[in-house]
Amino acid sequence: MRHDLLARRRALPAPTRADAAGAVQHQLADLVRRLRPTTMTGYAPVGAEPGGPELPEVLSRAVETGGGRLLLPVLRTDLDLDWGRYTGPGGLVAAGRGMREPDGARLGRAAIAGAGLVVVPALAVDRAGIRLGRGGGSYDRALARVAPGALIVAALHDGELVDRLPAHPHDRPVHAVVTPTGGFRSLGDRGGGPPG
């Protein structure tokens, strides 16, 4: 399933990717402005991941409007996630697995516990909030540290919200997804539209 989803993403024409990235950026920035978290997490998209390469800058501008800060993941050697503050495009460095990470101080694995909004990548998410990642378990470990009440949102391309995915005991569900044409959608027991 991962192989098929990745192949489908790679096959998206560049104009379609660009339009989708802009739509996801707009939806997430709107959500950030409504929620006004003091701390949020995001990610620097790799390849055809939703949001495009400008996503961290878009999220940073939106969260800083309300006085907040954006944290991005830093992949540790044990495949767990540490966190660093996003300081701008010039503050990102190339890292393993094609990732771009903040080059500043590491804030520790527990930094995600202070986030009111957690934006994560995914290959697919089902209607119960089960998220399919790339298979390393990094986000499942990190999401176990998210504070109760924080909103976890996965960014997807159209067609990546599916009816059902296999679930394992270590899987941590997301509460909502954002897609280019479907916008924000609550999942599982959250129901309804976007908060705020």
List pLDDT tens digits, range 43-65. 999 888 999 999 999 999 999 99
Q: What is the pLDDT along the chain (196 residues), one digit of tens a residue?
A: 778 888 888 888 777 888 999 999 999 999 999 999 999 999 999 888 999 999 999 999 999 998 999 999 999 999 999 999 999 999 999 987 778 999 999 999 999 999 999 999 999 999 999 999 887 789 999 999 999 999 999 999 999 999 999 888 778 899 999 999 999 999 976 544 455 5
Residue 135: which H helix or E strand, with range?
Answer: none
Token pair recorded at residue 5: 């989803």
How far, in Å, CA of 130 to CA of 122, rounded? 10
* Domain spans in the chain, listed from the N-terminal domain onward: 2-186
The verdict on pTM exceeding 0.95 is: no
Torsion of CA 89, 90, 92, 95, to 10 degrees: 120
Token pair recorded at residue 168: 């394992």
Name residue 101's amino acid. Answer: E
Which residue, 62, 57, 45, is CA-closest to 88? 57
Token pair recorded at residue 141: 């470990």
CATH class of this structure's domain 2-186: alpha beta
Determine how β-strand 117-121 pairs with β-strand 151-155: parallel
Vertex 2: Cα angle to 30 and 119 (nearest 5): 20
